[in-house]
Chain A
């Protein structure tokens, strides 16, 4: 039995809440860089502080690719996810309940650590987002 390894480990940080995504925030202009960059690409400031990204996001847009892409099997859902708390928009895989599942722009999402693909005996893990089901909703 293999072990679980993280996709791009430098994107993550272990906290008492579990694994979170981390970014760099420029001390001068406040712009957030994800993935981290040593230099603030917006103002060229060199003093950066690490910030943890909120697990909560809003679905800005999505697509479901129906053919295999590289290591991903089909269907493979990806979204553009706005994280208003960190003033950031990122791209990440979305979790589908089944092959017929779909998404709605504006869906509230929550990040979780889930399997990306197998690499030999190892399971490669990364970040994915799952719609938060509203009470009484669909």
Chain B
């Protein structure tokens, strides 16, 4: 395997922008990444796109606007983990010597797609999905288990949303840049008990892009290398009927596959960008990733570990809760965010001295499989 580095990143501001198509957003992000990399776009040898809804020829359509044609190009759908999965495909192409440089672009217009205005659900025709399991309902079921088995209160469940909005104030790319109090989060309109609307990521449009290349290729353009220390994707397994659903066995397995490949354990992570589509999800993800022991997420948050300035800052960007979650874009966006911190270019939200970071994105729901149905994890190091 060859060493792979992040040469360029770019993203749009996330928010409700129905005046732009998903493709137009993707073009903006790709242009920004090409400019950041300082390359001629025609140097790109392979291109990956990521989009979930109404997708057809996404990457071809984006790249034709940038002078890049007649290349190997692929589009990837893997629910909320689509962007992370597309990143992984590009990473492997370069690591395995198939190509030396390529781009991944994730984009989505949630305000104009065919699912606009609906709660994101399971796969069409899925048994439990047909009975009304949506993504918020799925996480609400786990939230009630956390409250029953770990002494977690509603205030604790609101915490990731309050914290991430506090971080989001500092991020010019975020959709919502305002303080939320615990009371505001708890008193907001109920969506799926105990999840209120302010515990859900908002509807958002946006795009993000990353250019990866070999270290040798990067030397022509930069002396500053942000290395991809690991990139892994894993789908869920069948569930034992009596599993404690607060635990996330596949996510834990995926995380440890990435730690092993990177030679960096959870204790070595300076920041983590993770899938906080619903506030309680962040709490059990701390445990699943090994940021704290199983059952100890409460002491983890009460020690301030997840805050900027804490031991393991989680979602310094403001997370999906502040930015919103254009499904195909988020998995690439978290890589861009971690890269900014490792370069020391994250502005007011900068995690000081960050040398390593994780970009995690999970998604999907299928009857009979563990939740999430798929996950992607990238570990970057400066």
Contact = CB atoms under 8 A, between A and B. Distances in A.
Interface in B155-202: 189-195
Interface residues of B, number: 31
Residue with the highest number of chain B CB atoms closer than 10 Å, among A8, A64, A78, A92: A78
B261 interface: no
Interface in A61-114: 61-67, 69-70, 72, 76, 78-80, 82, 87-89, 91-93, 102, 105
Contacts of B194: 63
Contact of B241 (A65, A82, A102, A126): A82
Contacts of A70: 121, 130, 132
A5 interface: no
Interface string B135-152: 011001110110010000
Interface residues of A, number: 32
Given A61-B141, A61-B144, A93 B131 contact: yes
B367 interface: yes
Contact of A89 (B121, B142, B241): B241
Given A69-B121, A82-B241, A82-B242, A63 B140 contact: yes
Contacts of A72: 132
B217 interface: no
B238 interface: yes
Residue with the highest number of chain B CB atoms closer than 10 Å, among A33, A41, A67, A105: A67
Contact of B131 (A60, A61, A91): A91
A27 B238 CA distance: 18
A9 B43 CA distance: 57
Given A63-B140, A66-B191, A87 B241 contact: yes
Residue with the highest number of chain A CB atoms closer than 10 Å, among B132, B148, B191, B368: B132
Contacts of B141: 61-63, 78-80
Given A41-B238, A89-B241, A105-B145, A63 B131 contact: no
A80 B243 CA distance: 12
Interface in B250-308: none
A67 B127 CA distance: 20
Nearest to A116: B131
Interface string B7-35: 00000000000000000000000000000
A64 B192 contact: yes
Given A61-B142, A65-B137, A69-B121, A78 B242 contact: no
Interface of B: 119, 121, 127-128, 130-134, 136-137, 140-142, 144-145, 148, 189-195, 238-239, 241-242, 245, 367-368
Given A69-B121, A70-B132, 18 more contacts: A35-B367, A61-B145, A61-B148, A63-B144, A63-B194, A64-B193, A65-B134, A65-B137, A65-B192, A65-B193, A66-B189, A66-B191, A67-B119, A72-B132, A78-B132, A88-B241, A91-B131, A102-B193
5 contacts: A61-B144, A63-B193, A80-B141, A93-B131, A105-B144
Nearest 5 interchain pairs by C-beta: A63-B140, A91-B128, A61-B141, A64-B193, A65-B192
